[in-house]
Amino acid sequence: MQLTRHAIEKCATYGVLAKAVVSALDAGETFIDLHRRGTLVRIFWFQHRPWVAVLNPGSERVITVYPTDQRTVDARRNGGRWVVQKP
């Protein structure tokens, strides 16, 4: 996966190494965000909490990354906003 300049800047904002984020992304789960016109999001664990990576569909680029919490992840999954992407 490749990070956009914006994603790299977000890593710097949160004080994390972009290289470490890219490594953590591999173990994530990808969803389709139905509230954002089908944008792909990948949820991954990093630094003892869930993070969100917004992906560019059709390429292996990460648009942005940000930390979140398990309550938000559960609410979006259980509420039908995030639907598991089929392979």
Res 24: pLDDT: 93
- Distance separating alpha carbons of residues 83 and 76, to the nearest angstrom: 9
Res 39: pLDDT: 87
Indicate the average pLDDT of the chain.
Answer: 91
Phi-psi region of 37 (alpha: psi -120 to 50; beta: other; left: phi over 0): left
Angle at the Cα of 14 from the Cα atoms of 4 and 84, rounded to 5 degrees: 60
Q: Is the pLDDT of residue 3 over 90?
A: yes
Confidence of residue 57 (pLDDT cuts 50, 70, 90): confident
User: From edge to edge, which strands make up the β-sheet containing 82-84?
Assistant: 2-3, 61-67, 49-55, 39-46, 29-33, 82-84
CA atoms within 13 A on the CB side of 82: 17
Q: Is the pLDDT of residue 75 over 90?
A: yes
- Average pLDDT rounded to a whole number, residues 27-55: 91
Amino acid code (one letter) for 35 = H
Query: Reduced to 3 states, what is the DSSP secondary structure of residue 73?
Result: helix
**The total number of structural domains that make up the chain:** 1
> pLDDT tens digits, residue range 34-45?
988 878 999 999
Domain of 73 in residue numbering reads as: 2-84
